[in-house]
Amino acid sequence: MRIVITGASGNVGSALLRRLGRDGHELVGVARRPPASEPPFDAVSRWSFLDLTRDESVPRLVETFRGAEAVVHLAWGFQPTHDQRYLHELGVGGTRRVLEAAAAAGVPHLEHMSSIGAYSRRTDDRPVDESWPTQGIASSPYSRHKVAAERLVDGFEREHPDTVVTRMRPGIIGQRDAGSSLLRYALPALVPARALDWLPVLPLDKRLSLPMVHADDVADAFARALEARAAGAFNLAAPPALTVDDLATVLGARHVDVPAPVLRALMSASWHLRLQQLDPGWLDMAYSVPVLDVGRAGRELGWSPRVDALSVLAETVAGMRDRATRPSPVLRGRSVAGELTRLVRRGPVSSRPKP
């Protein structure tokens, strides 16, 4: 099967290359910057290097998609958080361009990476299935963008009823190899990875409950949906939902209960002062997203997570501590010296212009 993967050099993309590469598929990767020709990226037979924020990418996308039996759209951006125009153009605009090209190329199967962040605010702790409203969390730019992308996919489905459309809505996706990249998003550039070992307390509201899933398990769900040509949305998460105590245990810290509004005020102030790069919408989303019912993926895809959420968390944090990497610009190594050099040359990652 000829499969085109956008965002093939990232966290989920690398896992999907591992999963599909061993099955002998012809894989075409779409990315902005080239990774090294090493596993798992050497599973790609051809790369197309495109900037999905630009309308000029559409003709090349059409050319790349033509003849493909499926397109898996993973490409998304998380930084710079102070440039919401850019992030919207990449996430929402990029999705629009991918859909436009898929329609022009006559792609028979499209898989779209959505997110738990597209779901509306939870009302209690009961797990929700894929029928839960996708109106998002209004105060989170990431959530708003995921909702906007879902609406584009809605329109594509209506206009192209003969195309199989699959949506994956996973919780937080982790793996060891993404340790450096995730740490780059989470910690200021001048804070070393070993600071995770110096964390004496974890100040969080005790009501936190987070779904998590391993990148390899997400890749397995994508592969199963491709094989089954399964349409519709699928929740992906591993048991159990993570609590603050779970986070504190893995980090080796003592939990101190701090109300979410207090944390939000501190997070908002530090983000506006550019002391750290996570906007407060991420905290709002963390305390609002529902628990996921993954029954449909089990029934229709035969999918079940092989790695439990506690193990995913432990593996991901270990990867952060060890600055784990893969040979790709997205999953590159993080060091204080390297980040300081980029800070001097290109400014803070929270507002850094893209080449």
**Segment 243-294, tens digit of pLDDT:** 999 999 999 999 999 999 999 999 999 999 988 889 999 999 999 999 999 9
End-to-end Cα spacing for the chain: 34
pLDDT of 92 over the 90 cut: yes
pLDDT of 346 over the 90 cut: no
The model carries a pTM of 0.94
pLDDT of 353 over the 70 cut: no
155 class by beta-carbon count within 10 Å (0-12 exposed, 13-18 middle, 19+ buried): exposed
Tokens representing 197 are 């070992």
Is the residue at 44 inside a domain?
Answer: yes
pLDDT band at 147 (very low <50, low <70, confident <90, very high): very high
Please, are residues 30 and 8 in contact by the beta-carbon 8 Å criterion? yes
Domain count, the chain: 1
Is the residue at 81 inside a domain?
Answer: yes
Average pLDDT over residues 158-170: 98
Is the residue at 63 inside a domain?
Answer: yes
Mean pLDDT of the chain: 93
Domain containing residue 12: CATH number: 3.40.50.720
Is the residue at 197 inside a domain?
Answer: no
Which range has highest mean pLDDT (191-195, 258-262, 332-336)? 258-262
Q: What is the pLDDT of residue 183?
A: 87
pLDDT of 354 over the 60 cut: no
Query: Which regions of the chain does DSSP assign to beta strands (E)?
Result: 2-6, 26-31, 44-49, 70-73, 109-113, 164-170, 172-174, 201-204, 209-214, 232-236, 238-243, 254-257
Is the residue at 200 inside a domain?
Answer: no
pLDDT of 214 over the 90 cut: yes
Q: What is the pLDDT of residue 277?
A: 87
Average pLDDT over residues 72-79: 95
Strand partners, 169: 235
Average pLDDT over residues 100-125: 97
pLDDT of 84 over the 80 cut: yes
Strand partners, 2: 26
DSSP string, 37-101: SSTTGGGEEEEEE--TTSTTHHHHHHHHHTT-SEEEE-------TT-HHHHHIIIIIHHHHHHHH
Residues sharing a CB contact under 8 Å with residue 114, sequence separation 6 or more, in sequence order: 134, 146, 149, 150, 153, 167, 168, 169, 233
Is the residue at 136 inside a domain?
Answer: yes
Q: What percent of the chain has pLDDT over 70?
A: 94
Is the residue at 281 inside a domain?
Answer: no
pLDDT of 355 over the 60 cut: no
pLDDT of 177 over the 70 cut: yes
Give residue 146's domain range.
Answer: 2-174+211-241+290-307
Handedness of CA 192, 193, 198, 199 (dihedral sign): positive
Average pLDDT over residues 70-84: 94
Is the residue at 191 inside a domain?
Answer: no
